[in-house]
Amino acid sequence: MKKLAHWLVRLYPRWWQARYAQEFEVLLEDTDVTLCDVIGIVQSALEVRMKPTNLPRIVDMACRDIPHGYELESCVELPGANGGSTLVQSFYREIDLGDTYVTLSHSSRGGEPAQTILINGRKGEVDGDFRTDETEMLILHIDGTIERTEQTVKTWLKYRAIVDRVRDKYRSGQSAEDIFRQIRAASDNPLWS
């Protein structure tokens, strides 16, 4: 079963394998896999590979460097599943202190009251394109309540490269629309799909 599970996982694109392979293989080991399941997995892998890119559009953006980090203000139009779209306005600050980092995100989705999220992260081990971090997240809700969670999260390192590339382009004076067009042209990554 392990061999079959391993073979079936390899039908999916690499970004998908990096994110889901381990848990998917466990599920296959737990399940009495039928011929129908195998056909379903082949179909699912094809769908993941062939899914048209559904990119968010950067409407407006401003970025500035600060000591040990940067701040980013943005307005992004997210395509919805039903053909509509949602505007997300956000302010994001990230400070990298070496082994640890702090992020602050203040964002409003679809004109709803803004939510503030603070994350304290400790960088962990790197495995391929991912790093496993220990994080503490505080969500400051509009009603004054605070939700606190501790999580082990997988950070996709290529995302960092994309953010850095966007910041470089912004520094060189390119418009949000130009940057978006270039990312879209160069993009075969799952971040935008």
CB of 171 to another protein, least distance (A): 29
C-alpha distances out from residue 137 to 78, 104, 122, Å:
24, 10, 12
Q: Is 41 in the site for another protein (CB under 8 A)?
A: yes
Residue 44 or 100 with smaller CB distance to another protein: 44
Q: Is 186 in the site for another protein (CB under 8 A)?
A: no
Region of residue 16 (phi > 0: left; psi between -120 and 50: alpha; otherwise: beta): alpha
Q: Is 92 in the site for another protein (CB under 8 A)?
A: no
Residue 52 or 67 with smaller CB distance to another protein: 52
CB of 101 to another protein, least distance (A): 18
| Residue 12: Cβ-neighbour burial (10 angstroms; 0-12, 13-18, 19+) | buried
Under a CB-based contact definition with an 8 Å cutoff, are residues 125 and 131 in contact? yes
> Which of these segments, 25-33, 67-75, 91-99, 173-181, binds another protein (CB under 8 A)?
25-33
C-alpha distances out from residue 178 to 19, 70, 182, Å:
30, 21, 6
Under a CB-based contact definition with an 8 Å cutoff, are residues 106 and 91 in contact? yes
Among 4, 17, 24, 187, binds another protein (CB under 8 A): 24
Residue 17 or 100 with smaller CB distance to another protein: 17
Q: Is 130 in the site for another protein (CB under 8 A)?
A: no
